[in-house]
Amino acid sequence: MNDTTEFLILRHTDYKESDLILGGVSPYGQVSFIGKGLKKTTSKNAHACRLFSCSLMQYDKKEDRTIHLMKTASLIDSYRALREDLDLQILASLIAEIAMKIHDGNDLYAMVRKAFDLLKNKEKPFLVTAAFLSDVLKREGNQPMTDMCVRCGSTKNIVAYSMEEGGFICRDCYNVKPALLLDVPTLKNLRILVKGTMDQIEYMPEELDKPAVTRLFLESVVYHTGIRLTSMDFFVSWYPETLG
Ligand SMILES: [Zn+2]
């Protein structure tokens, strides 16, 4: 039987001398393929199996398996910019690792493709990644509270943000236990990001497009989901700045 599926390649793992295991997401969720001979220079499929590529995979489907033997791969979108631009590569690596480590679901493919489609335009890449991370927080049931103080429910005198408690903090509560002190424009922008989705990037403020914003949401995802990210250390050392 020849089965086909669209597949976004998010992880390469060496396997045997000349094979690769391709990890990624399809419209059915997280899945892996064994690609025979992909490391050989003569491989006809290698160009369609690069990291971050989206390809149509032909394979033999084995029910109850999450790893299949690939027959052929044909390129749908190479997402070349994500491999050639260092900023985009770092951001795509974060998105890819998170998509492979959070709960499986048939929504992941559309989420990651949307993020990659936006990233390859090279417009507001840090905001695109922050919006992806914000969507991950919503998906995992940890959307930050930005309508009121997360501790007391007050809507007045919001002055800070608590990553651990997941939301805004008012002045009275801040005086009891400090959090990340931010100015009002920054708090308003964070609220826009939390309330929005990746589809609204073009309407979101330019000020949100900075590594410190991405980092805040990245730390939130790691804190609230408990996943460990090897790509996070690199992000933090490359972009050391933080908000506040
Ligand atoms: Zn409060």
Local confidence band at 115 (pLDDT 50, 70, 90 cut-offs): very high
For the cut 90, the answer to whether the pLDDT of residue 173 exceeds it is yes
Q: From the CA of 242, how far away is ligand 1's center (Å)?
A: 23
For the cut 90, the answer to whether the pLDDT of residue 79 exceeds it is yes
pLDDT mean over 142-159 = 98
Q: From the CA of 160, how far away is ligand 1's center (Å)?
A: 10
* DSSP, residue by residue, 49-71: SSTT-EEEEEEE--TT-SEEEEE
pLDDT mean over 197-217 = 96
Q: From the CA of 224, how far away is ligand 1's center (Å)?
A: 21
Q: From the CA of 244, how far away is ligand 1's center (Å)?
A: 19
Local confidence band at 107 (pLDDT 50, 70, 90 cut-offs): very high
Sequence-separated (6 or more) residues with CB below 8 Å from residue 152: 170, 172, 173
Q: From the CA of 178, how far away is ligand 1's center (Å)?
A: 11
Q: From the CA of 230, how far away is ligand 1's center (Å)?
A: 35
Q: From the CA of 217, how far away is ligand 1's center (Å)?
A: 21
Q: From the CA of 187, how far away is ligand 1's center (Å)?
A: 15
Q: From the CA of 150, how far away is ligand 1's center (Å)?
A: 7
CB 171 within 8 A of CB 187: no
Local confidence band at 244 (pLDDT 50, 70, 90 cut-offs): confident
Q: Average pLDDT, whole number, for the chain?
A: 96
pLDDT at residue 65, as a whole number: 83
Q: From the CA of 1, how far away is ligand 1's center (Å)?
A: 61
pLDDT at residue 1, as a whole number: 66
pLDDT in tens, 41-57: 999 999 999 999 999 99
* Structural domains of the chain, with CATH: 3-77 (2.40.50.140), 81-144+178-238 (1.20.1440)
Q: From the CA of 151, how far away is ligand 1's center (Å)?
A: 5
Q: From the CA of 169, how far away is ligand 1's center (Å)?
A: 5
pLDDT at residue 124, as a whole number: 97
CB 193 within 8 A of CB 213: yes
User: Percent of the chain having pLDDT more than 90?
Assistant: 95
Question: Burial, 127: exposed, middle or buried (Cβ in 10 Å; 0-12, 13-18, 19+)?
Answer: buried
End-to-end CA distance of the chain: 57
Q: How many angstroms separate the CA atoms of 60 and 149, rounded?
A: 53
The token duo for 80 is 């070349």
Q: From the CA of 142, how far away is ligand 1's center (Å)?
A: 19
Q: From the CA of 219, how far away is ligand 1's center (Å)?
A: 22
pLDDT at residue 66, as a whole number: 82
Tell me the β-bridge partners of 30: 25
Instruction: Specify the pTM.
Output: 0.95
- H runs (alpha helix) in 28-124: 81-84, 86-101, 108-120
Q: How many angstroms separate the CA atoms of 105 and 126, rounded?
A: 25
| Beta-strand pair 54-60/67-77 | antiparallel
